[in-house]
Structure 1
């Protein structure tokens, strides 16, 4: 009986240590914030959400994501590069006004950015850099996805 109790206590201690249960506010899993395939970032009061790249059947790299400004001062997206190549944009710049999102791809899209000839495969990550009129540039490592499933029929602005 005593041996069984000791084994049970040892098993409980080991399982707690291995799974980080009992880590409380310092648990590593508590700090995960990415809930989609897209990445998130921030520059000043500009939030980048769900940024990823969809590779089309024609090997174009199409930007997917949403940018929202929380600032009372307007800013603008002045450039985007995908895999270190300047992207073709549907406008020379995109105004960032408080709570008026700039959305790349989808039914609510109001902006487009893409590059031709992407030589990466789904699952790889590539750099995507956003430059702004006022805020500091931001570079994220965006996941490349194939144009299938949800992204099968991309709805673009242009």
Structure 2
């Protein structure tokens, strides 16, 4: 009689095939790793977005604060002209918003719109303006610059002026101009030619003409105390007949 030996075999799934269990475990580990990597990448993306939003809010807030903190400077910037100009300095003197009011025809006079500021401890004077493209120059009126003060000149007879320019000064062109101060010394700037700002004359104003002394009788008011001849009146004997030419009373 034959006896068969029966080994105890576990009924647990996969007990008979260990390799199957190993593959399953590896697959599970890989899946878990992929899931962890995905979660980590998601967290990094969310963190980056939060940082970006925070930075954007910070920039917007800074711009708003800067606008509020600018105060009067903001209004000053709005008030500035858009005309092209140059600036410079020599010693304690600062030159700003300098340009020639043009256009100017050859042989004409060119007013220099400009602002001068004296930061020194003693007064100074702009004694001359000159250019290789002009026959001469006239300093401003007045030309003195008080200590800690300044002067601003528009395009009128008070502005520093180049006289007898040697060529047409067209809008957009430029020319060298030397400003000489009594104490600070000289500085040369390449000054642009631009249209005069609104409200300023484009050329030095001419001196007013003498009043015309020829006045029609109809417009002449008789001097106080003088009699007005009535129409049709016959002068008495010995009286002079009024003539049509009226001479203005002195004073």
Q: Same fold (TM over 0.5)?
A: yes
Alignment partner of 1:115 is 2:163: yes
Q: Which has the higher contact order (CA 8 A, sep 6+)?
A: 1
Question: What is the alpha-carbon distance in structure 1 between the residues aligned to residue 118 and residue 200 of structure 2?
Answer: 29
Q: CA deviation at 1:122?
A: 1.2
The residue that corresponds to 1:8 in the other structure is none
Instruction: Give structure 1 stretches of 5+ with no counterpart.
Output: 1-34
The residue that corresponds to 1:25 in the other structure is none
1:83-94 alignment runs, 5 A limit: 83-85=132-134, 86-91=136-141, 94=143
Q: CA deviation at 1:36?
A: 5.0
Q: CA deviation at 1:110?
A: 5.2
Question: What is the alpha-carbon distance in structure 2 between the residues aligned to residue 132 and residue 70 of structure 1?
Answer: 14
The residue that corresponds to 1:7 in the other structure is none
Question: TM-score scaled to structure 1, two decimals?
Answer: 0.62
Give the alignment partner of residue 125 of structure 1, picking from 158, 174, 195: 174
- Provide the alpha-carbon RMSD of the alignment: 3.0
Question: What is the alpha-carbon distance in structure 2 between the residues aligned to residue 57 and residue 127 of structure 1?
Answer: 15
Give the alignment partner of residue 68 of structure 1, picking from 103, 106, 117: 117
Query: Which has the larger strand fraction?
Result: 1
The 3 A distance-change label for structure 1 pair 57 and 127 is closer
The secondary structure found in structure 2 opposite 1:137 is strand
Aligned residues: 121
Question: TM-score scaled to structure 2, two decimals?
Answer: 0.41
Question: What is the alpha-carbon distance in structure 2 between the residues aligned to residue 83 and residue 104 of structure 1?
Answer: 22
Larger Rg: 2
The residue that corresponds to 1:45 in the other structure is 92
